[in-house]
Amino acid sequence: MIFQISTINLVQGFTAIVMVIVALVIGARISLKYREAKQRAFLGLGIGWFLLTSPWWSEVVTLIFQEFLGIPVPEGFAVILSTVLIPATLVIWAYASSLLIQGKKMQFAFYGVCIYAVIFQITLFVAYFTDYTLLATRPNVGLRTTDLLAIFLILTLLIFVSLGLIFSIKATRVGTPETKYKGYFLVMAFILFLIGSALDSILSWEGLPIIVPILVRTIQISSSVLFYLGYFLPKPLLKKLTSTD
């Protein structure tokens, strides 16, 4: 099925491409920090941040292959592409968080996330092999999720942001001024990601002013930039921030 693509769908697809590329570059940069610091947390956080964009991969693939190249992308494939990695991504993120937040409570939380991820993954595979429309359909470039998938996505988003805020807020309370400011940037990153992702899932782009998807995706892209600053804070910026204290 080749859509008669609208301007707002075109913007939706292009901004998804930008968002995925930005997350890939930033995620790779953070993952490479593992070689310097020899801390597995960086590897997990970098990979996890990039994989968090997987729900938007179908928009990228649909726009490029189906709309520009004329190569049909099956709806079922688009649904699988945008959902299959979410549970594993959450486990990776929770594991990296457990390395940053020591303690028995965090270990129990990690095991709880793993159990939730298994339930989520099983639900996905049951839907894949029975009726993928139980999860989502694709009326245009983006997917329209069902209530079932929406519930899982909301829970996943809340778990991800909660874990991120825990180690970010912890960083703002201890250590050097540099560590504290990095923590502040991380807190802002997770809050913006929560807001952007929530708006992205709630709003139906059709009929809205074109500025709306641009603003929503700008929020999401900004969260990636802030996440980067949470690990690579430029010295001139740090100096300017500390001089105002």
Q: How far is CA 64 from CA 23, 69, 79, 129, in A?
A: 18, 6, 16, 27
d(CA 62, CA 64): 6
If you ran DSSP here, which 8-state letter would residue 142 be given? S
Specify the number of domains making up the chain.
1
Whether 81 maps to a domain, the answer reads: yes
d(CA 133, CA 21): 28
CATH code of the domain containing 40: 1.20.1070
Whether 243 maps to a domain, the answer reads: no
The tens digit of pLDDT for each residue in 130-151 reads 999 999 998 778 888 999 999 9
Q: Could you give the 3-state DSSP secondary structure of residue 46?
A: helix
CA angle 12, 84, 80 (to 5 degrees): 60
Whether 242 maps to a domain, the answer reads: no
The tens digit of pLDDT for each residue in 184-240 reads 999 999 999 999 999 988 877 777 788 888 999 999 999 999 999 998 988 888 888
pTM of the full structure: 0.90
Q: Which tokens hold the place of 117?
A: 């991820």
Whether 31 maps to a domain, the answer reads: yes
